[in-house]
Structure 1
Amino acid sequence: MRHPPGRPGPGRRGRLGHAAIPAALAGADVTACDLTPELLEAGRRFAGARGARLDWREADAEALPFADGEFDTAMSCVGVVFAPHRQRAAYELVRVCRPGGTVGLINWTPEGFIGKMFAAMRPYAPPPPPGAQPPPLWGDPEHVHSLLGDRVSDVQARRQQLRVDRFARPEEFWEFFKTCYGPAIATYRFIADDPGRAAALDTALDGLARQHLADGAMDWE
């Protein structure tokens, strides 16, 4: 079992292992990996604090350093979505999973809050690599099925809502994401020399949060 990596953009911050560590604690033999050494170190610290034992590997989602069929399960929790060449990444997910094994993904949807946030940031963001597509497309079942193709069978998709009650006011949301979320950090960095555009992005994210925030909570699909 493994947690495949994303391809984080500049300034991506976070903690690796939201899926891999619970799997290890449940008794699985887990290899967790990411392209960013800093995230691997953060994951090791978090796993150590929880008493989880994992194998941590630096790896690229588009060229995984594992043998064909090496794992029973290949899974990603909002990680592989950031690989710019998603067809390669999808192929790698299937390649390292044994015949009859499972590929499991947790992804934001295009229609949900995070999908709308990416859409709001797109006019201000740096140009994506050639051929790259918005990360929330990984939350479109038809798109994922097209990526995996006939290499997999029994494709199942389920939509769920995540209740987020961290932000009492809209400005708390966008200030947090400006400093802690890699895609937002990269976008604001790209327009740092244009205060007018930065202010316009603040306004766009503030408006998005106001549309979804009710009684100190938001639902993210």
Structure 2
Amino acid sequence: MTTDTALKAKHRAMWALGDYPAVATDLISSLGPILVAAAGLGPGRRVLDVAAGTGNVAIPAALAGADVVACDLTPELLRVGELGAKESGATVVWQEADAENLPYDTGEFDAVVSCVGVMFAPHHQAAADEFVRVCRPGGRIGLISWTPEGFVGQLFAAMKPYVAPPPPGAQPPPLWGSEAHLSTLFGDRVRGVATRRQNVLVEGFATGAEFRDYWKEIYGPTIAAYRGLGGDPDRTAALDRDLADLGDRYLTGGVMPWEYLLYTASVA
């Protein structure tokens, strides 16, 4: 198994841990319709949702009248998405695919989008190149990504000392939430770029410790971080403290603002 193949297998397994569908449904379901509206996804548009997970964008885009293909590296998430689409009456094609090597023709789609999904592909330039390749000239690219400075970006920063360093060439996911980074990735291949930083407000946690206990049971990357500690009690306790402290810093009146970058552009 090559290093890249092993890395992708690790990512696939990580996102199958815990219960990411609950995160998508209970905490961030509002993000999908926001991206659908911003990217103008509707009738007459053939849309590709990359790293679609359970379909936060794909399902509302289909319900808005778009012809939608949803792809993801993790088949367990696609199966949940397919069930959700059937329940909502949405017609979506679900396919297993790697964001860095999409199995679609050049210029096949009118819009290529991703909601806190493609940002987790390890090789950012490869994924951005695929977005541009499969989107027709004049077509739309739409992204929602967690920012480095926001809560989720800081969550990954807090976990960084406790996980193995990424292999050479892999980049941190929250970079996709940086306007400058996206400008580097897409360059002059896009025009009409619009960016906006916004917050999704997450409720339901009274303390940082309560959030940590939920997150370490439900979110794949955090579960993987704890497993990687091998049961070391001191490091486990330290990560427990760091995540609880982070949650407390962001909680105000039972609400946590999670900042994201909304990015739209047209392929030149």
3-state SS, counterpart of residue 155 of structure 1: strand
* Alignment RMSD: 1.2
Please state which structure has a larger fraction of its residues in strand: 2
Residue identity in the other structure for 2:213: E
What's 1:11 paired with?
Answer: 14
Using the alignment, how far apart are the partners of 2:102 and 2:191 within structure 1? 22
C-alpha contact 2:215 2:222 (8 A) present in aligned 1: yes
Using the alignment, how far apart are the partners of 2:105 and 2:193 within structure 1? 23
C-alpha contact 1:74 1:102 (8 A) present in aligned 2: yes
Shift in Å, 1:194:
1.1
Say if 2:161 is the partner of 1:123: yes
Shift in Å, 1:51:
1.2
3-state SS, counterpart of residue 253 of structure 2: coil
Count of residue correspondences = 215
Shift in Å, 1:28:
0.4
TM, length-normalised to structure 2: 0.78
Say if 2:181 is the partner of 1:181: no
Shift in Å, 1:129:
2.3
Q: Deviation per CA, 1:123-176, whole angstroms, max 9, x where unpaired?
A: 001221211121111000110110011111122110001111121222221111
Shift in Å, 1:120:
0.3
Using the alignment, how far apart are the partners of 1:147 and 1:43 within structure 2? 29
Spell out the pairing of 1:9-88 with structure 2 (5 A cutoff): 10-12=13-15, 13-15=19-21, 16-88=54-126
Question: Stretches of 4+ moved more than 6 A in 1?
Answer: none
Alignment partner of 1:97 out of 135, 144, 162: 135
Residue identity in the other structure for 2:96: E
Q: Percent identity?
A: 58
C-alpha contact 1:141 1:157 (8 A) present in aligned 2: yes
C-alpha contact 1:10 1:186 (8 A) present in aligned 2: no
Alignment partner of 1:166 out of 185, 193, 204: 204
Using the alignment, how far apart are the partners of 1:204 and 1:133 within structure 2? 23
3-state SS, counterpart of residue 189 of structure 1: helix
Alignment partner of 1:190 out of 207, 228, 237: 228
C-alpha contact 2:12 2:74 (8 A) present in aligned 1: no
